[in-house]
Structure 1
């Protein structure tokens, strides 16, 4: 990493201010054991307001990082806070916007700030990655700016010879910049929920709430987000509140009792019941009661905790099992302190397997296997069974290479899944009917993963990470327009969902690495920064809001260079951990476990 250039006027080594620290200085295993930071969001020990201009003293780099945090907080005061860092003569260079027009350009520093001493000032150059545009409604949308560098100058805030007076910015950028470190520190990533287009499932949508917003206003902010509708990329797969729904005044209440007054056309009992569930989960850190009024008339009172207990967004059994492929067949894995499952596929069908995706549906197991023929060509085979899958139905076509098949955990009636084959995305069903999926993107598809709600997917297309929503209109999944995510990882190779709003992604940061990435790409945490070689297969067991701390929540397994590994802690999966295999004869080299996955 390029180091900052500092003149003698600064003297000595700079001390990094704690304000900008986004990722603790921990070892890889400690980071992994602590859990991905992108969904932790604990504000304990953090200030709700960004630092003042004077906070950095004579530390130039700390001042720059504080300047990149100054816009954080409530939107209506963003310009005021930033202009406190700018010289009087230069304040007019920052055109001011009001209300909903306030937006912050979130950037990720790709290097340390370059600070060069001049005669009476210092030139600052920051090299950035444009992450997104944070709007006043808490939504992070794709970036509009394209700049990869910004330049400005620092001038002393005191008279000549006074080195401890701090600095001001001159020639400032003409936009409000916010570093991703400041986003992590001064905002809370919140999930709000919209009903799926078939109104059977809650689907999470990420927002950012300033920690400066007092708790008594949190209810109002969340309701405003809901009435404004979902993120653009989610619209094809979810239903917003009825058109022209508005909040009448702010929500009121405190100490566990809240009241909200809405103008909501068509607010019948069914809609109010669904709204109550939405609010309970969108305010999931609040307990107590919430009364819903429609045009000043009391209509429904809900106990937030009871409402969450009565409706769970996701259905997961509490006994997930690990499996792998060993010598062409699926086998259970028995790792320390974990019980091994039974082989879910009958021996007659469990042959020539390259990779697999299994799903539990009530008492049945759905199996999607990629199997290889004698010529090495690969084909998808589908089966379903109560006490194990006994018969597989092969798809009509074979391919040179296929990725790990994934089941979509939604829909009524027939079950569907997705698989990548020869650089294209295909949809399959439980009868092995396979159809190509039109994405509207150019480039080769290399990986796909489906969220627990069955209405969102993650994709790697053209060497970039994307997310997209699924519409179930007509009972058949249709993939909507994709949103490209901006991350530090380049050339991603594998992805899966680590949680409701988190992805675990393998790629490169100069060397192969695995990162935890938020669903909008803004928050990322290195999980393993030097894998050693390219990750070709990745499978995770996601955490959920209702069970965030179960033993396997957030765990993942991956394959690199034909060798399989697990997290928690990082360790190679050994042949001895593969169950139901016969040890090879003396002198014969044993196989290695590949393509590990979870059954849940």
Structure 2
């Protein structure tokens, strides 16, 4: 296993554990996820890695591949960022190497996964060499986006670093003639920071996050300026079909100012005065959500403050914010019946009461209000989807959908945005089901089309699992055993997916997926090959950012606990982005058993019943093992 990769895994796991180290084993673990805030940025700039005190080549190369932090910043507020970064990188080199190294002022910052191979010393000398294999992950552009790498002609995927020791310290005598940043450097020296854009095509829009990376070497005031530049430049290409750019009349007059109390004042040109109060409120909220820690934002015009456009009430503009305590009620299927794992005093929801439809159930979903539900039932050797009727208290509680029976259907899901629908996959196609609006009305099913890479606008195939983000405009998919994400468009009331983007990871096969946070996924499947992120161990459950960086095996304190599992289903509760301490709320099925993730292990989900007493004539208590666990959608 490479030194860089072990370092990345160690840093991530250590950071994740810090949030949950005081929790007892039986509580849900808390951590700060890899695509949220691992190390909250300070109000001052952090000093980047230096070569001081390093006396061996491996450690020096690890630091060197991190010290390029900030090399993607080319904003007017930071005109010398690239030259300063290159000057810092040269401090790792011998004088002769500095004279030879010339990546150029327009050199892209390429993010690489580094695998360290042979470290060799030259007998009788102070020189040594280290062979490193580079796998390009992408490149960081000026807007903090990790995009597809445009490799320069002089990029070398296999490179042998050479070093010389002098005065007890090592310096590099041979380096690649490019600007490289390791995945470890990205995780340690960049702050994952989504910026937000208003969704398009709906009457009551919400904000949609767009993952970016902020260099920690920038002080707080300049980080605010960078965010404003990112917003003005617009959304990422993949997300652009479902969100709106900033209006053209939004022009910043001067640099934003960071107040002593942490609030931010954004000075706009006089053009903004013509905007409606609601448009200005939305702009304030958009900026506030896009800033780290979401400080209060006030707009001013030509340096004249207008406090009526402060960003109070910004929480309601994000669909991931759910008022009140997070709903952690668990549901399972036992002996073909869906039920809460812990039946409350009032009994199960109306839609999950015993009855003719609540038999032969394979998987299910229910919304948080318990007014909509769907069941996948096994009938005549095939799986069929039924959905709840217009009135959850009336009979029959369920009606047939027009999704064709299949050998295997995914667990269904309910979404509120961008339209209220059920979704299900049949192992090939993704289906959307419009529920009945009134008694006697049928449920209507449609295939969800999407843009297939290399095939244009077409029907998606080989979809076996999925999970929709709270905003409803992004979907995570398992396609041909690989994790993908795609934007969700709505056209004339019908859903359509944009082009899929891969989420690379180290699992042997991807089978289940869910959203841990707005920009973090939980992925389960077949075990990874040993030694990927854990020395001499494997795992089958991970958390990772939506671009595949920051991958961490779960559970946090015992990451190899899933090494013998094949995870076939997964349900995750998405964290509230206003909470500073995030949680891992994951349920999964592995080896025909429902399990929950805790800090130290995964545990079988047990059944309990605090509901009404069961009469002697009622059905006998369940004897089978719980399967297909899920949270309410």
Partner residue of 1:200 out of 183, 187, 205: 205
Instruction: Name the Cα RMSD after superposition.
Output: 3.6
- How many residues are matched? 569
Tell me, yes or no, if the aligned pair for 1:448 and 1:459 is still in contact at 8 Å: yes
Q: Which residue of 2 aligns with 1:285?
A: 293
Q: After superposition, give the CA deviation of every residue in 1:227-254 in whole Å (9 maximum; x if it has no partner).
A: 1111111111111112474433322343
**Alignment-derived partner of residue 78 in structure 2:** none
Shift in Å at residue 271 of structure 1? Answer: 2.1
For the structure 1 residues 273 and 34, does the alpha-carbon distance in structure 2 shift closer, same or farther, using more than 3 Å as the test? closer
Whether contact under 8 Å (2:129, 2:163) holds in the other structure is: no
Structure 1 residue 217 corresponds to structure 2 residue 234: no
| 2:554 paired residue among 516, 521, 527 | 527
Quote the Cα distance in structure 2 between the aligned partners of 1:168 and 1:521: 30
Match of 2:456 in 1: none
- Distance in 1 of aligned mates of 2:52 and 2:236: 38
- Please give the alpha-carbon distance, in whole angstroms, between the structure 1 residues aligned to 2:347 and 2:15: 36
TM-score, normalisation: structure 1:
0.84
Q: State the partner residue of 2:169.
A: 165
Distance 1:445 1:148 in 2: 36
What does residue 11 of structure 1 align with? none
Matches within 5 A, 1:180-579: 180-197=183-200, 198=202, 200-243=205-248, 245-256=250-261, 257-263=263-269, 267-283=275-291, 285-293=293-301, 302-304=309-311, 306-309=312-315, 311-314=317-320, 316=322, 318=325, 319-334=327-342, 342=349, 344-346=351-353, 347-360=355-368, 363=369, 365-374=371-380, 376-384=381-389, 390-396=396-402, 397-412=404-419, 415-431=420-436, 432-441=443-452, 444-507=462-525, 508-510=527-529, 511-528=538-555, 529-530=559-560, 531=562, 532-547=564-579, 549=581, 553-569=583-599, 570-574=601-605, 576-577=607-608
Do the aligned partners of 1:280 and 1:307 also contact (CA within 8 Å) in 2? Answer: no
CA deviation map 1:517-545 (0-9, x unaligned): 11221222221443112100000111111
TM-fit CA distance, 1:261: 2.9
- Which sits farther off after the overlay, 455-464 or 33-42? 33-42
Check conservation: 2:596, 2:605, Cα contact below 8 A: no
Match of 2:623 in 1: 590
Give the equivalent residue in structure 2 for 1:139.
145
Which among 11, 23, 32 is matched to residue 13 of structure 2?
23
Q: Any conservation in 2 of the 1:37–1:525 contact (CA below 8 Å)? A: no
Contact 2:57 2:163 in 1 (8 A): no
Q: Secondary structure at the match of 1:344?
A: helix
CA contact (8 A) 1:440 1:481 kept: yes
* CA drift at 1:85: 2.1
Instruction: Give the superposition deviation at 1:173.
Output: 2.0
What is the rounded CA distance, in whole Å, between the counterparts of 1:322 and 1:148 in structure 2? 50
Deviates more, 1:141-150 or 1:345-354: 141-150
Q: Deviations over 1:341-393 (max 9, x none)?
A: 54633423212111112113xx552112211112x211111114665575212
CA contact (8 A) 2:16 2:31 kept: no
Offset, 1:331: 1.1
**Of residues 111, 124, 133 in structure 2, which corresponds to 1:127?**
133
1:9 is matched with which residue?
A: none
2:532 is aligned to none
